[in-house]
Amino acid sequence: MTVLQTFHIPDTVTGTAADIELAQRMVQAWRRDGIFQVATDDIQSRKTETAFEASRRFFRLPMQVKAGCVSDLSYTGYIASGEEITAGEADYSEIYIGAHTDYGLLVIAAQDDVGGLYIRPPVEGETRKRNWLPDESSAGMYENEAPWTFVKPVPNVLTVFPGDIMQFMTGGRLLSTPHKVRLNTRERFALAYFHEPNFQACARPLFEPQSRDTSTTALTSRTCSRAAIRSASPPCASSARIAGRCWRG
């Protein structure tokens, strides 16, 4: 079982040599494992547990109450088991959530002691789809092929991994991390924060303009299924378009 690297984050980041060295070690962990952990202090851990308790209370509510908690503007809200689609198949969240990547910059998550999260680390020579392009999708890729890393539940940490926009902006130097969930015989609760631009933002590559992950003409010329976006000149990918591409499943 892979032991994930855990980092302690300073209260402030000012660009000191220590800050840069910490950032370099984080990038190395992402490129090696696809994920790392961040330690939480006592206050953060109490807030996390309070959020878990709120989640448990919410899921005990009647179905009709939960079903009313949906926002068409932000893609957030209650999704019943079987309503979400990955690789053309319904995710029955009480059993599994299929392999996929998330469209934003990064995901910060907490899980309870039940566990069930698996991530796919970077594999040398393995093709990773550019999930923002209309003819490429990472949904369901390598679902049943090793290696998958079980993310062991650890108290007082948050897990952090990159999303599709991070892969796009870094020209593939940081890969969007595929992940899936295989649930246990007990209820499992998890909290996730998706760090992502607003839907009117343009994401541009950080490195050479002709990087293979800057092929965005299709992104800026097709209509997103879930959000209206403005046109932009390549190499620039609308975050709304990336979101729309990924939410097609």
Say what the pLDDT of residue 210 is: 52
Which residue has 């002691």 as its token pair?
113
The per-residue pLDDT string of the chain (249 residues; one tens digit each, 9 = 90 and over) reads 678 999 999 999 999 999 999 999 999 999 999 999 999 999 999 999 999 999 999 999 999 999 888 887 776 788 888 777 776 777 776 678 889 999 899 999 999 999 999 999 999 999 999 988 989 999 899 999 999 999 999 999 999 999 999 999 999 999 999 999 987 778 889 999 999 888 788 888 987 655 454 444 333 322 232 232 223 334 555 555 445 444 333
Say what the pLDDT of residue 134 is: 87
Q: How many helices (H) and strands (E) does the chain have?
A: 5, 13
Domains of the chain listed by start with CATH number: 6-199 (2.60.120.330)
Residue 51's alpha-carbon distances to 41, 48, 54, 189, 222, in angstroms, are 15, 5, 5, 10, 39
Say what the pLDDT of residue 96 is: 81
Say what the pLDDT of residue 142 is: 94
Comparing CA positions, the residue from 98, 122, 93, 104 lying closest to residue 190 is 93
Comparing CA positions, the residue from 231, 208, 222 lying closest to residue 132 is 222
Say what the pLDDT of residue 161 is: 98
